[in-house]
Structure 1
Amino acid sequence: MEKRMMLMLTGVLAFGLLAACSTPKESADGHGGSHQHGTTNSSANNDGPGDHGSHGGHDTGGHAADNYKASFSFASGTAKASENTKLNIQVTDANGQAVHDFEWGHEKLMHLIIVNKDLSYFNHIHPEWDGKGTFTIDTSFPKGGEYKVFADFVPKGGSGTTLSEWAKVEGETKPLESVKADAKLVKVVDGKEVALTLSSTKAKDEATLTFTVKDEKTKEGISNLEQYLGAVGHVVILSEDAEQYLHVHPIDEKASGPAAEFMTAFPNPGTYKIWGQFQHQGKVLTVPYVVEIQ
């Protein structure tokens, strides 16, 4: 009998701008925001190692939260480093019934974020909906170890929901690196110089994150950033232990640079990794930063 690794968790509805941006190709109201949640781990039976987390959504919309469950499984039973593997995701409601209706959120029915234990690896991909109850995607992992998978989606008539799980990948592992704050928040990626400024580095304060994109050689601002998934950019933020997750959307989704602004609030003091994603001349730039929040 083929072994299958089933990774299960219960998540609580997380409210945020993802719900407000639930139409394809364009935003509903043009305002930036974020949704966030934390995790608590408990053990459960499965054929592969992994902690099963309960995700507490922070209700910013004043609505009652509904419960959803996601089942993550590898079609081959296990995932091996550097090998292509099919990942299946199934969503059920509080009554255990499969969810079949989803709304578009920034041009996709589901966004999948994958990171490794020390946050040195990041992948933002989009599973395909088979119309029968399952999202699927072929992906690969660069090395063995633990990876956390976050699934963002909007149930029809609901709000933005994020469910996640740790998954074990077989293969050679490498020593984990510590997540240390950057001394300078200026990065160069694919010939673009991207600087990040934060209006506040204090936990729970409303903070504006401003990314300024320039040409690395000329230092001229780039004002023709392209729409990426219906917005000038997307930002994902994780605490160093991957327990706090924020998916942030722009204040002005139709902006084109050189500056792109995002607004959020860091839930607690600590170290956070930030990934900004932007598109220029048909290529997506992923720019990582690490900041310390007081």
Structure 2
Amino acid sequence: MRFSGLIVLSLALFLSGCGKSQTTDHSVHGGGHEAGSAEQVQAIFQVAASPAKSKEETTVTIQIQDMNGKPVNDFDLNHEKKMHLIAVGKDLSYYSHLHPEYKGNGLFTISTKFPAGGDYRLFADFLPSGKEKTVKSHTLTVQGEKASAVAIEPDRTLTKTIDGNEVTLNIDHLMAGMELNLTYTFKDAVTKSPIQDLQPYLGAVGHVVILDANADQYLHVHPTDEKSKGPEAKFMTTFPKSGVYKIWGEFQRGGKVFTVPFVVNVP
């Protein structure tokens, strides 16, 4: 099942440690499911070998269950996967889009390495059968030498070159609380010719994940035209409040997925 809308998850604060997870209500647009069903689902995050250490393989398990502790067994595919797990560093300089393996009985597991010590926010994005699309979060503290903090500063220009692809982001009427379009334009970085051979990534031309500077606001946006091959990819979203946001666009060309980050200030 596919959604072309967005998910907004409001979170109060970062948790320290790797014990219980923090979840809050969120709203779904374009999902077609009854509002409020996400409140009936909880996610328990655990690390197989605690504490987690940087640069070492870390296995994270995510148990999805109802409010009575009974496992949720059935999940619909959402862009070809039963769960998407977004992992970001506290300063948003680290970003990883993972796909945990479903083991049955509501249990998902993933092994990954974190590059440095510090706090990481994990966002589990999934669709229980018969319920609305759901996002649950957890903050994991990883031991090890911390990387130097990177300031989250708005980009002066919204054009970057990644893996030979020149990507420009255009945002119409950038303002909080208003529905707006995110339009990505792709050119070959050498020839400047329009790129028209983008390949589907997880069933669509691209995916966009957005977080505010404090990781309190989470948005996962899908394209309005999933079958586009370029030179444009368009997305529609609404920034919930004013502030600085980091936007990661994920696309695929030549069999390689490339991620384009931009930082914007939303009035």
TM-score of the aligned structures, taking structure 2 as reference length: 0.94
* Alpha-carbon distance in 1 for matches of 2:192, 2:65: 50
Give the structure 1 partner of residue 27 of structure 2. 58
Change (3 A) 1:59 1:276: closer
Q: Does 1:150 align with 2:115?
A: no
TM-fit CA distance, 1:51:
8.0
Could you tell me which amino acid in structure 2 is paired with residue 177 of structure 1?
V
Q: Is 1:206 paired with 2:179?
A: yes
1:132 & 1:97 partners in 2: Cα distance?
9
* Alpha-carbon separation, structure 2, partners of 1:186 and 1:107: 29
SS at match of 1:40: coil
Counterpart residue number, 1:39: 11
Q: Structure 1 vs Structure 2: percent identity of aligned residues?
A: 47
In structure 2, C-alpha distance between the alignment counterparts of 1:49 and 1:77, rounded to whole Å: 8
In structure 1, which of residues 67, 76, 99 is the aligned counterpart of residue 49 of structure 2?
Answer: 76
- 1:127 is the counterpart of 2:100: yes
CA gap 1:205/1:51 in 2 versus in 1, 3 angstroms: farther
Given the alignment, which residue of 198, 206, 226 partners 1:253?
A: 226
Which residue of 2 is the match for residue 103 of structure 1?
76
Native 8 Å contact 1:98 1:133 kept in 2: yes
Unaligned runs of 5+ in 2: none
1:275 to 230, 248, 263: 248
Structure 1 alignment gaps of length 5 or more: 1-21
Alignment CA distance shift 1:175-1:77 (3 Å) = same
The alpha-carbon distance between structure 1 residues 51 and 178, as it changes in their structure 2 partners (threshold 3 A), is farther
Report the Cα distance in structure 2 between the residues aligned to 1:143 and 1:203, rounded to whole angstroms.
33
Aligned-pair Cα RMSD in Å? 1.7
Alignment-derived partner of residue 15 in structure 1: none
Amino acid at match of 2:101: E
Residue 192 of structure 1 is matched in structure 2 by 165
Partners of 1:225 and 1:256 within 8 A in 2:
yes
Deviation at 1:62, TM superposition (A): 7.8
Report SS of the residue matched to 2:156: coil
CA distance in 1, matches of 2:14, 2:21: 5
Instruction: Provide the rounded CA distance (Å) in 2 between the counterparts of 1:263 and 1:143.
Output: 34
Of the structure 1 ranges 31-40 and 233-242, higher mean CA displacement relative to structure 2 is found in 31-40
Q: In 2 relative to 1, CA 289–91 (structure 1 residues): closer, same or farther, beyond 3 Å?
A: same
Query: 1-side partners of 2:14 and 2:68: how far apart?
Result: 21
For the residues of structure 2 that align with 1:233 and 1:245, how far apart are their CA atoms?
17
Residues 90 and 121, structure 2, Cα contact 8 Å, conserved in 1: yes
Distance between the aligned counterparts of 1:112 and 1:49, measured in 2?
Answer: 16
Inter-partner Cα distance in structure 2 for 1:266 and 1:132? 35
Deviations 1:96-145 (A, max 9, x none): 21111100000000000000000000000100001233101110000000
Equivalent pair of 1:41/1:54 in contact (CA under 8 Å): no
SS in 2 for 1:32: coil
- Residues 155 and 262, structure 2, Cα contact 8 Å, conserved in 1: yes
Report the alpha carbon displacement of residue 159 of structure 1 after superposing the two structures with TM: 1.6
Aligned residues: 263
CA distance in 1 between partners of 2:22 and 2:104 (Å)? 27
| Structure 1 CA distance for aligned equivalents of residues 33 and 55 of structure 2 | 44
Q: Which moved more, 1:96-105 or 1:114-123?
A: 96-105
> Are the equivalent residues in 2 in contact too, given 1:33–1:264 (CA < 8 A)?
yes
DSSP 3-state at the match of 1:287: strand
With structure 1 as the length reference, what TM-score do the two structures score?
0.86
SS at match of 2:23: strand
Taking the aligned partners of 1:134 and 1:188, their CA distance within structure 2 comes to 39
Q: CA separation in 1, counterparts of 2:45 and 2:89? A: 16
Deviation track 1:14-65 (CA, whole Å, cap 9, x = no partner) reads xxxxxxxx2xxxx4xxx7321111012487xx9x367853322125458331
The 2-side partners of 1:210 and 1:171 are apart by 39
Runs of 4 or more above 6 Å deviation: none
SS at match of 1:245: strand
